[in-house]
Amino acid sequence: MSWEPVFRFVQRIPRGKVLTYGALAAALRLPGGARTAGRAMGATPSGRGIPWHRVVGAGGKLLIRGPHAMLQKKLLESEGVELVESRVKIDRHLWKPAKQKKNRQSRNTKAPARGKLN
């Protein structure tokens, strides 16, 4: 299984926002659902700048155990994400991804031209 699409997706998560495994799985249509998303994150290679810490469990619960748990918390806080114990205020930081099926960038046919914005 190549988690490439998953990694790409996670990299799209803006700073200060978070996503749940379920949402991730749903957005990418991962077979098996959230579990598969979790597996993908577990396979997250280091050195790719993948913000794996922005992926949390349903309800914003931090499911990561071990030494990385603290790390995730720290990283999230440093990004401005509000945390409550082992839980993030997902209601305030939930990121809504755009429906991206595979990887298709919409080409900008027209230029904005008008610089007379407000």
- Strands of the chain (E only): list them: 19-20, 55-56, 83-84, 87-88
Query: Coil, strand, or helix at residue 64?
Result: coil
Q: Which stretch binds DNA (CB under 7 A): 59-67, 73-81, 94-102, 108-116?
A: 59-67
- Judged by CB under 7 A, does residue 51 bind DNA? no
**Contact yes or no for 73/62 (Cβ under 8 A):** yes
Contact 52, 41 (CB under 8 A): yes
Q: Which stretch binds DNA (CB under 7 A): 48-56, 74-82, 94-102, 105-113?
A: 48-56
Cβ proximity to DNA: between 61 and 104 the closer is: 61
Using CB under 7 A, pick the residue from 5, 12, 16, 33 that binds DNA: 33
CA atoms within 13 A on the CB side of 21: 19
Residues that bind DNA (CB under 7 A): 1, 20-22, 31-39, 41-42, 44, 52-53, 55, 57-58, 61, 63-65, 68, 72
